[in-house]
Structure 1
Amino acid sequence: EFTATNNVDEDGLPAGGNVTSIGLSIEWQKGPLGEEGPDRKVPNGAFVETLIAAALQRIEWYQEVNDGKFRCDENAEAINHLSDALYILDERTKDRQARGVEGTHQT
């Protein structure tokens, strides 16, 4: 179980939030970072991609630790799905960069 809060700004746009659980405390990025370059803002919170990558790393570790004692087909399938999720989100980023809307609330 976890508790999640998703915030919006006065225009109804995503504006951070948080997730908490035992051993877990996440503050989500609040607001867009802007275009690449000297005016780009410094991140102030976590991104979904970072959390997916962290979960992926942990499951990959389970597959290898103690000479693969915990290796299983379910972990392998979860690794595939998490890897696919990261790939798809990266493709979205590339598309947004190509359209000049990455780092903004434009869709």
Structure 2
Amino acid sequence: MSNQHRILVGHQVNPANDTLTVAVLDRPGRGGACHAYQVSGANMARHPFMRQAVREFAGSDLSDAQVDAAFAQASDGDTSSLILFQDGPIAEAGVNGVTHEVLLAILIDRLEGFQAGPYACEANSKALEHIKYAQQRLLERTRQRMARGMEGTHKV
């Protein structure tokens, strides 16, 4: 693996996205796509879920500063998220990463939540429609590959 990582910028549009760095960690595999991405720039210790988890593990009477310190110590200061995609046919490599369909399912769930709450809007509705369409096309492709006996191989 090279020390030179490719940085993605297509997500940058506002201060939150501008703060997040997406690095491609590996080179394209046999199928032409990369499999390892790192997202950094978020202070995960400030996320309510992480604060709750640290307090449940270390003690509910901790101050925010103590939670930050405990999280930093537990994570060795690394607040990045690693996203590993499936690399290789499952029959050979086992399930060793996430799939596009998994990430799309997460996005669908989040957008459906926004649409059911106070942030419902036309932009979210259209994004949800297109993400569902993308997921259906990928599922359709997989079903076709399964029917042809090609799923789980490097054959087209």
Q: Which residue matches 1:62? A: 114
- The 4+ residue runs of structure 1 with deviation greater than 2 A are 5-9, 14-17, 22-25
Question: Which structure 2 residue ranges, 5 or more long, are not aligned?
Answer: 1-20, 43-80
Q: Which residue matches 2:25? A: 5
Larger proportion of helix = 2
Of the two structures, which has the highest relative contact order with CA contacts closer than 8 Å and spacing of 6 or more?
1
Letter in 2 for 1:50: V
> How far, CA to CA, are the matches of 1:8 and 1:43 in structure 2?
19
Question: Which structure 1 residue ranges, 5 or more long, are not aligned?
Answer: 35-39
* Residue 46 (structure 1) aligned with residue 90 (structure 2): no
TM-score, with length taken from structure 2: 0.55
* Residue 92 (structure 1) aligned with residue 149 (structure 2): no
Larger proportion of strand = 1
Identity of aligned residues (%): 32
Moved more, 45-54 or 16-25: 16-25
Q: Secondary structure at the match of 1:45?
A: coil
Aligned length: 96
TM-score, with length taken from structure 1: 0.77
| Largest Rg, 1 or 2 | 2
> How far, CA to CA, are the matches of 2:34 and 2:90 in structure 1?
12
> How far, CA to CA, are the matches of 2:26 and 2:136 in structure 1?
24
